[in-house]
Amino acid sequence: MGFLSVLSMAHKWTAERTAPGDCVIDATAGTGVDTLALAELVGGKGIVYAFDIQQEALNRTLARIQERIASLREAEARFTDEPSVSGRNEPAVRRTSAGRARLAEVRLVLGSHADMERHVDPDLAGRIAAVMFNLGYLPGGGDPSVITEPSSTLAALDSALGLLRKGGIITCVLYPGHPGGAEEAAAVEQYAAALPQKLAQAIVYRQPQRLQSPYLVAIEKR
Ligand SMILES: C[S@@+](CC[C@H](N)C(=O)[O-])C[C@H]1O[C@@H](n2cnc3c(N)ncnc32)[C@H](O)[C@@H]1O
């Protein structure tokens, strides 16, 4: 059967600690996979902040969100056009809009996650349900020299912990296999290990037989 991938585990732990209408953060938007998943998770009444230092990453994220909105609209229009199958003359539109998935408001921020406190609405401080980090460089043709750096990553983790509500979660996917990745991963692990247990609980999800593979550090605020 195998264990869940680190990305799937990050999403599972995040989903278990969030509810529709929550506000969450994608600290490294990249291609927008995590941003979109978060937008679906917290739904139409939720808010997702997505940070990246590269405009290309935000463009890709926006395109992914727009594509999803278009496909939701298309599916809705298709259902609305279908005749009711209930046999009780129920309007089909009522059936479909009730069950329609809706996306959160996504606020794209071109800037470092180290400055996230400055960008997040002050009313939401202490009310953030989850912050996802996926470190490293923009995949799929991005510039591999633009990578997350330990100093800004640690500053961002600190800000994220401050913004989280009690019971909220930070997930951080680490890539020890690329240049600089092992040092950054070690710095994140040390940061998590040094957190007072009264403030937060930390956990590492890793395959000890494959130390070059990506792994996950998660922090739950108490
Ligand atoms: C591995 S990718 C993220 C993948 C993404 N979550 C996805 O779903 O595709 C890492 C991203 O972090 C971004 N990044 C690097 N330093 C950053 C910083 N200080 N603040 C915010 N984003 C940063 C890079 O530009 C890159 O797009």
**What is the number of residues in the chain?**
222
HSE toward the beta carbon, residue 5, CA cutoff 13 A: 5
**What's the rounded Cα separation, in Å, for the pair 218 and 169?**
7
Asked whether 136 lines ligand 1 (CB < 6 A), one says yes
CA of 64 to the centre of ligand 1 (A): 15
Question: Residue 50 domain-assigned?
Answer: yes
Nearest atom within ligand 1 for CA of residue 175: 1
Question: Residue 1 domain-assigned?
Answer: no
Mind listing the pLDDT tens digit for each residue in 146-187?
A: 999 999 999 999 999 999 999 999 999 999 999 899 999 999
Query: Is the separation of the CB atoms in 25 and 48 below 8 Å?
Result: yes
Question: Residue 56 domain-assigned?
Answer: yes
CA of 27 to the centre of ligand 1 (A): 7
Question: Residue 10 domain-assigned?
Answer: yes
* Sequential DSSP letters for 151-216: HHHHHHHHHHHHHEEEEEEEEEEE-TTSTTHHHHHHHHHHHHHTS-TTTEEEEEE--TT-TTS-EE
User: Which residue minimizes the CA distance to atom 15 of ligand 1?
Assistant: 148
Asked whether 171 lines ligand 1 (CB < 6 A), one says no
Question: Residue 161 domain-assigned?
Answer: yes
Residue 173 has φ and ψ, to the nearest 5°, of: -90, 125
pTM: 0.91
**What's the rounded Cα separation, in Å, for the pair 83 and 81?**
6
Question: Residue 12 domain-assigned?
Answer: yes
CATH of the domain at 112: 3.40.50.150
Mind listing the pLDDT tens digit for each residue in 76-92?
A: 888 776 655 454 444 44
Asked whether 28 lines ligand 1 (CB < 6 A), one says yes
Q: What is the pLDDT along the chain (222 residues), one digit of tens a residue?
A: 999 999 999 999 999 999 999 999 999 999 999 999 999 999 999 999 999 999 999 999 999 999 999 999 988 888 776 655 454 444 443 333 433 458 999 999 999 999 999 999 999 999 999 999 999 999 998 888 899 999 999 999 999 999 999 999 999 999 999 989 999 999 999 999 999 999 999 999 999 999 999 999 999 999
User: Which pLDDT belongs to residue 94?
Assistant: 37
Tell me how many domains the chain contains.
1
Question: Residue 132 domain-assigned?
Answer: yes
Where in the sequence is the domain holding 154, given as residue range(s)?
6-221
